[in-house]
Every structure is written in structure tokens, then in C-alpha cells.
Structure 1
Amino acid sequence: MNFTKGASIYEQIVEHILEQVVSGSWSAEDRISSVREMAVKLGVNPNTVQRAYAMLQEMEILENRRGVGYFIHAGAEGAAKQRLREEFTREALPWISSRLKLLEIEPEEFTGMLRRELTDGAS
């Protein structure tokens, strides 16, 4: 995982785990690395990972089974997808909309561009 400037590291860890769940890389009931293990893997402070895990528990993406470890919550995929959609709607969509207006790209033209991108990206 490569961290970028702009967002805090714990938020980037949260985003990474949400993407892993939505993509199907991690499924309900999968055990994930402990706080310490994840901190070592990522080269970050364990407190940073703990903060990310706490946030994911609040979202019901992770559950902590005392003495056993952290697991992907049973309803995590739906919750993760909903969270990422909300984030897209709140952050990316306004930016895209402002660019379309600035560049005078009509919705139909953008739809065609998006279809091509999704088709080309799928191959």
C-alpha cells in the first residue's frame, strides 16, 4: 500500500480495507491482520492502525473477537459499498460536475466517454 499526501494515513487504511471488501478480496468472516501485524506490514505506528480499525468497527465493517482477532463483519460488503458510494457522491461527483461545466462537455458526450473508458478498462 502506497500512502499519498492529502488524506491522513488512518483514512487511507480505512479506504484500502473498504476497497478490499467491495472488490471481494476479503469476505465476511475472513480474519485480517492484527493491529501490530498490520502496522508492521504498512510501516506505520500501531496507534494509526488502531484508529482505522476503530473507525471500521463503528461502520460495522470489522468486528473484534476478543482473544481471537479482527474479522470482516457479516454485512461488510454492503456497508462498505454504501460508504464508498457516499464518498464518491460527496467528493468526486461535484468535482466531475464542475469540470464538465468548465469544459462545456454535455452529459451525452460525457456518457459516451465514460462508456468507452469502462469498456476499454474492462479488457
Structure 2
Amino acid sequence: MNFNNDKAIYVQMADRLCDEILAGNYAADDRIPSVREYAVMLEVNTNTAVKAYELLARNEIIYNKRGLGYFVSPSAHDHIHASRKQVFLGQVLPDLFRQMKLLGIDIKEIDAEWEKSNEQPPENASPVDERG
């Protein structure tokens, strides 16, 4: 995984796992990779993975079954969706509107791009399930 400098690595790891949940790779009550497995998979320190899992557990995205590992919370999808929607509407969209005004981009141009994007599969869509 390529990490950027805008966010802490553990936050980016948590975001990735949330993406995987939203994409349907893990359903409610599915076991997710162990902290060590995830750390190895993403080539990070185990302590960083621990912080990511702790963040997700605090946000009720995952839960721990002692001795069995971490599992996706039944309400994970709803929590992720609500949180990301709030960020999008409160932060991303206002910045987008500001940029549109600065660059003189009309909403019709955005609509045309939106239509084009709906004709193509998502960038990170994969025809093969990566879990094996």
C-alpha cells in the first residue's frame, strides 16, 4: 500500500479496511485479518496496525472476540457510510465548490464528468476476490 503524508499511517490503514467493508469484501460478523496479518500485508509495523484496529474498535467498526480475533460489527457499514457522508458534505463538497468558483467550472461540466464516470467501472474494482 502506498501511504501519503496527509494522514497518519494507522488512519490510512483504518480507512482502507473501511473501504474493504464498504466494497463488500467483509460482511457483518466476518473475521478480518489479524493485526499481524494486516501489518505484514501492508508492510507496516505491528504497533501501527494495532493503532488502526484500536481506532476501528473505538468507532464500532470492528469488535474483538478474545482468542478468536477481530470481526466486523453488524453496524459497521452504517457507521462508515454516515461518517464519510458527513465529512463529504461538510468538508469535501465546500472545497469542491470553492475550487469550481475559482476555476470557473460550471455545474454542467461536473454533471458531464459524473455521467462519464458512471459508464466506467470504479478504479479499484477487481473482478477477482483478493481474499483468496
Q: 1-side partners of 2:91 and 2:19: how far apart?
A: 16
Residue of structure 2 in register with 1:63 after alignment = 63
Shift of 1:83: 1.9
What is the root-mean-square deviation of aligned Cα atoms in Å? 1.7
Q: 1-side partners of 2:14 and 2:87: how far apart?
A: 12
Segment of structure 1 superposing worse, 1-10 or 58-67: 1-10
SS in 2 for 1:31: coil
Letter in 1 for 2:102: L
Aligned residue-pair number: 122
Moved over 3 A (4+): none
After TM superposition, the score normalised by the length of structure 2 is 0.82
Over the matched positions of the two proteins, sequence identity in percent amounts to 34
Residue of structure 2 in register with 1:49 after alignment = 49
Shift of 1:117: 2.4
Letter in 2 for 1:76: A
SS in 2 for 1:11: helix
Residue of structure 1 in register with 2:25 after alignment = 25
- In structure 1, list runs of 5 or more residues that go unmatched: none
Letter in 1 for 2:103: L
Q: 1-side partners of 2:47 and 2:67: how far apart?
A: 19
- In structure 2, list runs of 5 or more residues that go unmatched: 123-132
Q: 2-side partners of 1:110 and 1:60: how far apart?
A: 35
Segment of structure 1 superposing worse, 32-41 or 59-68: 32-41
Q: 2-side partners of 1:118 and 1:92: how far apart?
A: 20
